[in-house]
A and B are shown apart, each in its own frame.
Chain A
Amino acid sequence: MTHGKLARLLDTHGPRPERWPPADRQAAATLLAASAEARAMLAEARRLEDRLGAGLPQPAPASVARLKAAVAREIARSPLPAPPGRWSRLLAALRPAAPAGWGALAAMACCALWLGLAASPSRVGDPLAPLQTLPIAEDSL
C-alpha cells in the first residue's frame, strides 16, 4: 500500500481499522508499522475523528421537547392522512415487476395492448363466413 492509498482509505473509512475493508487491513498495518509518515497521517485522521465525534452539534433537551410538543399540537388539528391516490395504487400493483426492470414493464404494456386489440371482433374467426354471403339455389335473384 502506498501513502496515497492510505490517505484515501483514511478519508473514506475513517481512522478505525475495524471500518476498513478487510482486504486493505493487512497492507495498511504493514505500512503503518514501517512508515512514520503513515503514522502521522493516521494521527491526523484520528484528530479529525475525535473533533467530529465531540464537536458535531447536539440538540438541546429543551429544543427536543419543544419539537415534540409542537408536532403533537399540529397533528391534533391537522387533517387525517390522505389515502393513497390512484397512481400510488397502480404503482404499488406494478411494483412486483419492478425487480425485473423496465423491460418487464414494457413487455407487460405490450401484452396488454395486444390483448386489447385482439379482443376486438374479427371475421377471421369463422373460416366459412364468406360462404354465408353467397346466394343459394332457392333464393329469388
Chain B
Amino acid sequence: MPILLALPRLPLAAAVPATDRPAGLMARETASDADLMRWSAAGDRAAFAVLVERHGERALRIALRVLGDPAEAEEVAQEALLRAWQAAGRFDPSRAQVTTWLHRIVLNLAIDRTRRRASAPQAGEAALAALPDPASGPEAAAVEAEERAALAAALAQLPARQRAAIALAYEEGLSGAEAAAVLDVSERALEGLLRRARLMLRRLLTP
C-alpha cells in the first residue's frame, strides 16, 4: 500500500473516465448534486469544489448551531467536507440526497464533538463572553445582544440531538422530511425532539 501511495499521481483529468467527464466549468456549475458527487467519486476535485460552494455555508451554519462556538464549527464543517470527499465513492444516490448525506456527516460530527466536551455549556459562555459592553453602544443593541446570549445559553443546556433538531427546523428551505432524514429519525421522532426542545427553551427563557 505505501508503494501505491508513493507512486506519482496521474493528472486530474485522467482520473475521471473520458465518457463521464463534464464538458467544462459551466457544466459543473449547472450540474445536479448527484452528478457532481459522481464526478467527485471519479476524482474530479473541481466538481467537489462546486458542491462545497453550494452547501458549505449551510454545513457551517448547522455545525455552528449545534456547537455554538464559531471556531469549533469551522473545524467540524471542514472535517465533514473532507470526509465527504474521501467517502464520495461510497455515496449511493438511491439511498439519500447528497445534501442529506452531507448534512448527516456534519451533524454526527458536531454531536460527537458536543458529547466529548469536558464542559457542556461552552456555547452559552462563549456567547456571554462575546457580549458587547452596554456602555459602548446604543441601548437597543445591548438588549438585543443580551437576548441572543440568553438564547445561546439556553440552547447550550439542551441535549445535543434536541439542539440539532432546532438547528434543522429553522434552516430555511429544509422540509420536515429532509430534516428527519438528516437526523436519521422518523418525522414523528423529530417532532418529539422539537417538542421537548421548545418546552425546555420556554422554561429556560421565561423570566
Contacts and interface: CB of A to CB of B under 8 A. Distances in A.
Contacts of B48: 75
Given A57-B65, A67-B56, A74 B82 contact: yes
Contact of B70 (A59, A74, A81): A59
Interface of B is mostly: helix
Nearest to B197: A11
B92 interface: yes
B147 A51 contact: yes
Contacts, number: 121
Contacts of B70: 57, 59-60, 63
Interface in B20-79: 40-41, 43, 45, 48-49, 52-53, 56-57, 59-61, 64-65, 68, 70, 73-74, 77-78
B81 interface: yes
Interface string B156-167: 000000000011
Contacts of A55: 147-148, 151-152
A31 to B, nearest CB: 18
Contact of A11 (B9, B41, B167, B195): B195
A67 B86 contact: no
A122 interface: no
A84 B90 CA distance: 5
Contacts of A76: 45
A141 interface: no
A95 B93 CA distance: 13
Interface residues of A, number: 39
A60 B95 CA distance: 33
A48 interface: yes
A82 interface: yes
Interface residues of B, number: 55
A14 B9 CA distance: 53
A37 interface: no
B17 interface: no
Nearest to B82: A74
B89 A75 contact: no
B165 to A, nearest CB: 11
Interface of A is mostly: helix
Interface of A: 8, 10-14, 44-45, 48, 51-53, 55-60, 63-64, 66-68, 70-72, 74-76, 78-84, 88, 92, 95
Interface of B: 5, 9, 15, 40-41, 43, 45, 48-49, 52-53, 56-57, 59-61, 64-65, 68, 70, 73-74, 77-78, 81-82, 85-90, 92, 94-95, 147-148, 151-152, 155, 166-167, 169-170, 191-192, 194-196, 198-199, 201-202, 205-206
Given A72-B52, A82-B90, 12 more contacts: A11-B202, A13-B194, A52-B170, A55-B148, A56-B166, A56-B170, A57-B65, A66-B74, A81-B43, A81-B87, A82-B86, A95-B92
24 contacts: A11-B199, A14-B169, A55-B147, A55-B152, A56-B65, A56-B155, A58-B61, A58-B64, A59-B60, A63-B60, A63-B74, A64-B60, A66-B74, A67-B74, A68-B52, A71-B78, A71-B81, A76-B45, A78-B86, A79-B5, A81-B40, A81-B89, A82-B89, A84-B90
